[in-house]
Amino acid sequence: MDTHSEVRRISFAELLMYRFGYDVIRRHESGANRDAQDEMEKVKANIIQLTEVARNAALATEVAHQSEARALGQELAALKAAEDARQAAKISDKTRENATRVIETLKLQEELSIRKKEGLENIASDDSKGVVSRNKSKAELAILLSEDQINLRAAKIHQEMAAKNTIAAAKKSEECVALTEAALERATHARKEATRLKSHRDSDSRNQHG
């Protein structure tokens, strides 16, 4: 045996590799690579998730803006409808006042005609009255009775019906005003809610980008 030969020292890792075929360094590097790959996969998954969240947030913001615009349009339409209804109600009020006066006038004319007829009949049949007075009353009564009472009455009925229809239309106008104002109130509430949601979405979007 050569006593001068140099004895080489080996490491524990080399001993394991020689004796059992176990490469500690390679196993360590392989494990580190797997850990790094796992971390990369997690990062990719987070990026995909954040991208999807951002896309959904942008879509929700756009929907909120569209909802506000639609609600505003509905509010403006309801506002115009309510204003038109109020204007129509004002016109109907004036027409109703005129119609009411027409009805009152027709009733008064009919009452006066009846009273006049009764008065003439009483005078014409009253023997206590002078001949001249009785004859005059008879002549006036004949003229009154000779008038076309049927046509006159029909005209009065027609005018009265028209007046009543006008009053009914005016009442409908008042109901229409109430309905349009209620619709306006609902539209305004919806628009305010849409604006609130839009502001909330805009705030969230700014926070996400910040």
Tokens linked to 208: 């996400």
**How does residue 114 score in pLDDT terms, banded at 50, 70 and 90?**
confident
Taking the C-alpha atoms of residue 210 and residue 206, their distance in angstroms, rounded to an integer, is 6
Domain ranges of the chain: 12-209
Mean pLDDT over each residue of the chain, to the nearest integer? 75
Band (208; pLDDT cuts 50, 70, 90): low
> Which of 7-11, 89-93, 184-188 has the weakest average pLDDT?
7-11
Residues 6+ apart with CB under 8 A from 70: 194
Confidence of residue 9 (pLDDT cuts 50, 70, 90): low
With cut-offs at 50, 70 and 90, classify the pLDDT of residue 210: low
Fold of 12-209: Helix Hairpins (1.10.287)
Q: What does the pLDDT look like over 117-172, one tens digit per residue?
A: 889 888 888 888 888 888 898 888 888 777 656 666 777 788 778 878 887 887 88
- What are the residue ranges of helices labelled H in the chain? 12-20, 24-124, 131-146, 149-209
pTM for the model stands at 0.46
Q: Indicate whether 207 pLDDT > 70.
A: no
